Amino acid sequence: MSFLKFDSLRKEFGDFVAVHDMSLSVERGEFISLLGPSGCGKTTTLQMVAGLLSPTSGKVILDGKDITNTPPNKRGLGIVFQSYALFPHMSALDNVAFGLEMRGVGKAERLERAHNALNQVKLGQFVDRFPKDMSGGQRQRVALARALVIEPPVLLLDEPLSNLDAKLREDMRIELRLLQQDLGVTTILVTHDQEEALSMSDRIVVMQQGDVSQVAAPLDLYERPLNSFVSDFVGKTNILQGKVTDKNVVSVNQIAVSVNTEAHVVGADVALSIRPEKFTMSSDNAGLPVRVKASIFMGASWLYSVESDMGELLVTQPNTGSAGFARGDSAYLAWEEGALTVFGGVQA
């Protein structure tokens, strides 16, 4: 039986439905990300789990118990808020010790445990600092230590890394994931950053306007998106509109592309999706002829925007140490048939 269950959770604000009947089962120790564009209902969902918002209908079940109507102070969940929400009038140590105090832990023990929690997030020497004297990254860690020290059954994270700079964000991703795995704490992370979701989660829930678009492990989600919204939102992709002209042939701007079309009838309008890194770009006269419109060096790779008879395409190629294609160069694109995904209908 799953550890944490959402059963048709629904939240309406007036006549606006922020979260449509959402169901999800989370296993013990699992790291789940709620991923979606701004305003799709991620925070609303998380707050319903936390108990800070009550659902219009539906249930939250934790470890077999219905906690839908349990107030937040009786749920015992660990929450890291988007703004960190530290207590500005308390030192880092007192911030972390607060939850233990509320649980009636004695002073000596709670200070020791708070100290250990701060050590765990590498803030051992900042115990006496006040939040206003800390950097964003340090505050974020205090918030994490404060949530973890109470040893919550579930950790809820609302975009905890979004206020950090790019480098720190990447470091924290790894740290957070390692910590989560060490502690084995069931975690729900809210993010609109697909890279964050892909790199940290066991499973990702992609949300769109209050609906779940797809739930899948990161690799599955990336390689086998269910629709063009997911494929476009998770990672970069090229979406090409075409028509099935024959069995296993889709015509895109009069160019025949061979692809598995078994789910679609001949004559159907379809969309093809192919990720930029699935192309091989070379000057050998084979494949789709293209002209390089823009060439951007990204360090580990090259990013090209190219023009072809199929339309404009984004292409990434690994940096192999030699100069890449330049603007205006002609080149040829090749790809494997399996790299293409077909979606029905004309989708954005």
Q: Which H/E stretch holds residue 198?
A: helix 194-200
Residue ranges in 66-125 that form contacts with another protein under rule CB under 8 A: 71-77, 79, 81-83, 85-89, 98-99, 102-103
- Contact window for another protein (CB under 8 A) among 45-53, 263-271, 280-288, 293-301: 45-53
Query: Which residue carries 């404009």 as its tokens?
Result: 312
Pick the binder of ligand ATP from 4, 9, 18, 80 (CB under 6 A): 18
Q: Are 273 and 343 in contact (CB under 8 A)?
A: yes
Rule CB under 6 A: is residue 33 a binding residue for ligand ATP?
no
Torsion from C-alpha of 94, 96, 99, 103, nearest 10 degrees: -80
* Contacted entry of another protein, Mg ion, ligand ATP, none for residue 103, CB cut-off 5 to 8 Å set by kind: another protein
Report what 38 binds from Mg ion, ligand ATP, another protein, none; CB cut-off 5-8 Å by kind: ligand ATP
- Count of residues that bind another protein according to CB under 8 A: 27
Find which of ligand ATP, Mg ion, another protein, none residue 39 binds, CB within 5 to 8 Å per kind: ligand ATP
Min dist CB 72 to ligand ATP, Å, is 16
Q: How many CB atoms lie within 10 A of CB 259?
A: 21
Going residue by residue from 179 to 208, which x/- string records binding to ligand ATP, judged by CB under 6 A?
-------------x----------------
Which range in 36-44, 107-115, 256-264, 271-279 contacts ligand ATP by CB under 6 A? 36-44
Among candidate residues 185, 84, 96, the one with its CA nearest the CA of residue 149: 96
26 vs 29: CA distance, rounded Å: 9
Contact 50, 156 (CB under 8 A): yes
Beta carbon nearer to another protein, 146 or 278: 146
Dihedral in degrees, nearest 10, Cα atoms 166, 157, 82, 99: -120
- Residue (25 or 162) nearer to ligand ATP, CB: 162
CA distances from 155 to 34, 132, 158, 262 (A): 13, 25, 10, 43
- CA atoms lying within 13 Å on the CB side of residue 265: 2
In 10 A of CB 88, how many CB atoms?
Answer: 9
> What does 41 interact with, of Mg ion, another protein, ligand ATP, none (CB < 5 to 8 A by kind)?
ligand ATP
Shortest approach of ligand ATP to residue 81 CB, angstroms?
11
Site residues (CB under 8 A) for another protein? 50-52, 71-77, 79, 81-83, 85-89, 98-99, 102-103, 130, 132, 146, 150
